[in-house]
Amino acid sequence: MTKDDGEMVEEQKKKPCRFWIWALSSVLFRLILISYAGNLNLSSRPEVSTPLTSIRRLAEGYWLKQASMSPYAGSMYHGSPLLLSLLGPLTVQRIKGQPSHLFCSLVFVIADILSAILLRGIGKKLQMAYGLNARLLGLLKSPRDKGILPCGDIAALVYLWNPFTIVCCVGLSTSPIENLAVILALNGAVTRRVPLAAFGLVMATHLSLYPAILTIPVIFLLGYGLDAPPLKLFLQTRNVESGNRSSTSSASKQAKSKPTAQLPFLWKTVVHFVFWALVWSLCVMVLCRLSLSKHGGLEEMFKRTYGFILSIEDLSPNIGVFWYFFAEVFDFFRNFFLIVFHVNILFMLLPLAIRLKHRPCFLAFIYLAISSLLKSYPSVGDSALYLSLWALFVNELADMKFSFFLFCGYLGVSLLSPVMHNLWIWRGTGNANFYFGNAIGYACFQIVFVVESVSAMLNHDRALKKCNPNHQKVKN
């Protein structure tokens, strides 16, 4: 705290400026890469485009639809019919001398920018909440404390500059749009715009099924409010404050008014949210029905999208481990393992929700990380999403263990993966185990990442308790 006030104000002005410079440069970087997209051949990499997100399959679906066939005829397209109507016409638009899917690339760049801006909004809210809570607990004296990092800017920049995001955007995978829907849902919930949150959630679920589990954190966000330290701490603080009334400050006044024995759950907002979710899902259904009216209708859509996700029919390699598992497992056990692996996601929902209900945003991040770990067809786009959400909690997760190890792990896996794939598929000098080993390594790093994030957050809550000056007072 050696800098004086004037310098700080200047810095406050400078920061947004710097953020926009970095954001713009990331867009420029993307545009440069897009002009070389043909040479990079990223759209055919298994890490980038899965059967669900590949633009080639989308183009094929669009072609089939134009030939008055069901876009789901054959086993090519497994995405949403709405996405097909949105991106389909762009796949056939071509400008002479430009890369073939230029318009789609531009759509993805725009989606990325929107995601970053929305993330920044979430981060700002979280940052304010963090500062407020810290002051309530008496950990921070000055409202302009330099200890709090601008997590919104960091998260947005992490999202924009993450190589995974860039690769997905340039590699024409539809995951930027799926990520945008997820971030939209979270942003809506954080800023308490209920229809927006419902829309984002419904769209995200429609596009890739797994975000359905985000219903729990979104309801928590709307019901309990933003992330905060556990309620017990506030209660303790109030007890202590009521004991020695001599040191009353403006902060403690607020503290007194806010926490009660039971945190209020805003049922009204949640009912509002459920209503909007129903409205939006009805809209989506009707639109899908209209676009598929001649080709089997909704039943066909659910069978070919959600059914395809749940039954893991496509065994082409990706960054996950299921493709090899189901290519090797005996047919007799296939259904058993399908159930076990899908239920694995659901099993963890309840324990996490109970333990982290005071931190709904963090809960959403953990859910996304788990679903990207246990997804049928994961891609690096999913990792890009949860890694940038992770950056929202830089303040809380500052003393996370193994962070350097994890960084090296992610780096190593993303460098080794193309090498192993090349050895196996193109050169024929390696075999499938090379690539599968890489995928197993990636799964392990993700597991360590999730577990360490959870325990770091729980430790942070514990540390808050320990550092709490009131707690110290009690001790003395």
Q: How far is the CB of 331 from another protein (least distance, A)?
A: 6
Q: How far is the CB of 327 from another protein (least distance, A)?
A: 5
Which whole-number Å values give the CA distances from 391 to 162, 164, 214, in the listed order? Answer: 11, 15, 18
Distance, in Å, from the CA atom of 202 to the CA atom of 126, rounded to the nearest integer, reads: 23
Q: How far is the CB of 353 from another protein (least distance, A)?
A: 10
- By the 8 A CB rule, do 122 and 361 touch? yes
Choice from 67, 142, 250, 261 touching another protein (CB under 8 A): 67
Rule CB under 8 A: say whether 114 interacts with another protein. no
| Token duo for residue 438 | 């890489």
How many residues lie near another protein (CB under 8 A)?
58
Choice from 129, 338, 349, 458 touching another protein (CB under 8 A): 458
Residues 22-51 that bind another protein (CB under 8 A): 44
Distance, in Å, from the CA atom of 155 to the CA atom of 138, rounded to the nearest integer, reads: 27
- x/- site string to another protein, residues 428 to 447, per CB under 8 A? x--xxx--x---x--xx--x
| Token duo for residue 264 | 């209020």
Residues 6+ apart with CB under 8 A from 351: none
> Which lies closer to another protein via its Cβ, residue 139 or residue 348?
348
Rule CB under 8 A: say whether 84 interacts with another protein. no
* φ, ψ of residue 198 in degrees (nearest 5): -65, -40
DSSP percent split of the chain into helix, strand, coil, nearest 5: 75, 0, 25
Rule CB under 8 A: say whether 465 interacts with another protein. yes
Choice from 60, 103, 149, 349 touching another protein (CB under 8 A): 60
Residues 302-361 that bind another protein (CB under 8 A): 313-317, 321, 323-331, 341, 344, 347-348, 351-352, 355
SS3 labels along 343-361: HHHHHHHHHHHHHCCCCHH
Q: Report which of 226, 220, 222, 223 is spatially closest to residue 194, judged by C-alpha positions.
A: 222
> Which lies closer to another protein via its Cβ, residue 263 or residue 349?
349
Q: What region does 192 belong to: left with phi over 0, alpha with psi -120 to 50, or beta? A: left
- By the 8 A CB rule, do 233 and 462 touch? no
Chain residues in the site for another protein (CB under 8 A): 44, 56, 59-60, 62-64, 67, 69, 73-76, 313-317, 321, 323-331, 341, 344, 347-348, 351-352, 355, 373-374, 424-426, 428, 431-433, 436, 440, 443-444, 447, 450-451, 454-455, 458, 462, 465, 474-475
